[in-house]
Structure 1
């Protein structure tokens, strides 16, 4: 059986005043062609199909259009909810989409058996058993206890998530055994997840999803599935060097620090012996975007080089980080003069200041909308002249307060 693993589409993302609609449309058209060419049996989207819980109408149209186009390709589709997705938004259409060969698991199900799915080959025969595990919210698997420290909550949540995986995996084993008796062979079991694991490398567009409660899920807490399709981290990577434990990454760069990454989807081949191979399939870059850095003199050359990736119809999106000349008051005007006549569009200018400058001033070019509350707190803490042992204590206290507030809102 051949599965295509993708995640973190973030349909509807608003990126520094720019829509990603064109990029997502181009990606989906490319993906449909690849599904046919590679003879994919099933597609798994491991969370964050949307960028927000209330996606714009064009993002919903893209989503629905992809489901219809994929149905015509003959491949199955499984969509798992992520931390950016609304359980209600994804769930509202899952009954309808089931008639289009698409199954949606927006959140942890009340009946655990509903998270165990049989994936089929193009000929209709069973090819694998899936442990469909979406983003797990703390309230889905545990109850808050008064007096727990942040460390206690972290351990409790980690244990609860691990127990959920084991419960779903046991049900999948039972389903595999049931189907194996009928077909004379054991089906491979695969699993999904939308979380941060120990050792995963993130990017600036990835925000912590278990503030004060779970920093990273240990790899040894996953069940012994033949393949585990993960989402949430936007950089494609093996976890801990393990072939079967993978983040496929996002299909388009969602921040400037992802601009140099090779984006990909993963082709996963399995049979009754388990995992046979994992093959990365590089995704074309549909919108050139580059982060450049240097003094004004250096940027004359660097920006001219970057402009070679663009054209009048599709200019390069630029983030310009200026060093050494940060004292200039007319910096934006000078950058625009450098870019005059070139197929580039400057989306953000940042000043790189010396280490002696306070952290909040060092990021002065950022708008508040670009920062999470964690970012603001971290920068504010870094600007204070405090004893070394006091900063970790304040950070821990901050995480405890945020965790308590999140539980109160849940």
Structure 2
């Protein structure tokens, strides 16, 4: 059986005020082409299908068209909800959709009721675990004492393993969380405290270093790490939530988002995992690239260099984050940059030269004998040691002379 693992479509998300619907539709079309060319049997979508709990009509239409094309390409679809989705809205008419080969799993009480799909080697059971807050899980299951997302997933995975032991056969699990591969010493420390998110600081740091700029916090209480051992049992575990691809073990992986949603993700590849199950279980996992509709580039230079430098010509069609190194913040920089880079979306100012620290009080630093000198001293204080330019001094002198003349005739 061939399975395409994808996640975090975030349909409806904006990028610095710009709609991403045309871009995600283009990428999902490419995903359909992979399904067709690779003869994929099942597409597994591990949560965050939408970006908001109240998706627009256009977002629903984009999803409906993508699912219809995936089915037309010959694949069944197993889809779960993430922390961005509304489980109720996403799961609406799920029973009806299942008749057409689109299996939407948004209820925790169905996590141990798999979607079973047969191939030439027998059944493969797909267990979808939707994102569920621990407090809601405790209300639904009286025997559940979960206080963290890790404990909630552990509770549900125990139910999955019990069901799998009775059914037998191969299996795939889908989940939406922040999973981490603890080292043995870190796992022992976490278990001794009784909380999976209490691993050593080094485990947390390693996880954060691997996921800089991604969505790390999916609980109201803060970072909640899930040890990869929670997912023992299935032949393959398709994870969602982190926007960069990651391999926690040969059988536990993140596919990442199919589209770049922030400049911090710009260097990360976009794609999906092609998972092949043989008669004995996991056989091979291959990365399939997806197109990037518009590159994301961070350019650092002075405004004049960015506007005139020929080395930046290749970035004129990119989404651009400009880091300006001018000593003084340029006026109207965004409008000027968009004359060359129409898709410039962000401008930061980081002066190349930083004035040395001055421990003197502000009053001592701006001591002056004349008003122009006083203003020049203030500008040096607020502009990283850069005083008034010749043009500014000329304007200041004209204004001060006019005020002096007005006061003299009052």
CA distance in 2, matches of 1:143, 1:321: 49
- Alpha-carbon distance, 1:142 to partner: 2.9
**Partner secondary structure for residue 230 of structure 1:** strand
Question: Residue 211 of structure 1 corresponds to which residue in structure 2?
Answer: 220
Quote how far apart the aligned CAs of 1:203 are.
4.1
Pick from 241, 261, 265: which aligns with 1:232? 241
Give the secondary structure class of the aligned counterpart of 2:156: helix
Contact 1:90–1:106, Cα closer than 8 Å, also in 2: yes
Following TM superposition, by how much is the alpha carbon of 1:172 offset from its aligned partner in structure 2, in angstroms? 2.2
Distance 1:218 1:56 in 2: 35
Gaps of 5+ in 2: 181-205, 358-410
Partner of 1:389: none
Displacement of 1:290: 1.4
> Are 2:173 and 1:191 aligned?
yes
Q: Structure 2 matches for 1:147-296, cutoff 5 A?
A: 157-176=149-168, 187-198=169-180, 200=207, 201-212=210-221, 215-239=224-248, 242-296=249-303
Tell me how far 1:97 sits from its aligned partner.
Answer: 1.3
Report how far residue 73 of structure 1 moved: 1.8
Secondary structure, aligned partner of 1:253 = coil
- Tell whether the 8 Å contact from 2:329 to 2:349 is kept in structure 1 after alignment: no
Structure 1 unaligned residues grouped into runs of 5+: 145-152, 177-186, 358-410
Q: Distance in 1 between matches of 2:239 and 2:271?
A: 14
- Give the aligned partner of residue 56 of structure 1: 56
Give the secondary structure class of the aligned counterpart of 1:44.
Answer: strand
- TM-score normalised to the size of structure 1? 0.72
Query: 2:103 is paired with a residue of what secondary structure?
Result: strand
- 1:119–1:350 Cα change, 3 Å: farther
Aligned to 1:328: 329
For residues 155-196 of structure 1, give each alpha carbon's deviation from its aligned partner in whole angstroms, at most 9, with x where no partner exists: 6553332121111122123222xxxxxxxxxx3222111000
The CA distance in 2 between the partners of 1:295 and 1:343, in whole Å, is: 15
Whole-angstrom distance in 2 between the partners of 1:61 and 1:259: 27
1:346 corresponding residue in structure 2: 344
Contact 2:171 2:234 in 1 (8 A): yes
Partner of 1:20: 20
Q: More displaced, 244-253 or 342-351?
A: 342-351
The alignment's TM-score, normalised by the length of structure 2, stands at 0.72
- In structure 1, the residue corresponding to 2:99 is in which secondary structure? helix
Residue of structure 2 equivalent to 1:383:
none
- Partner of 1:49, secondary structure, is coil
After TM superposition, the structure 1 stretch with the greater mean CA deviation from structure 2, 42-51 or 21-30, is 21-30
| Aligned CA distance change for structure 1 residues 160 and 13 (closer, same or farther; 3 Å) | closer
How many angstroms does 1:348 deviate by?
Answer: 1.1
Deviation at 1:264, TM superposition (A): 1.1
For residues 307 and 252 of structure 1, do their structure 2 counterparts lie closer, same or farther at Cα, with a shift above 3 Å needed? farther
Q: Give the structure 2 partner of residue 141 of structure 1.
A: 137
In the other structure, the counterpart of 1:95 is 95
Aligned alpha-carbon RMSD (Å):
2.7
Residues 338/163 of structure 1: CA separation in 2 closer, same or farther (3 Å cut): closer
Shift of 1:49: 0.5
Shift of 1:215: 2.0
Greater shift in the superposed pair: 209-218 or 42-51: 209-218
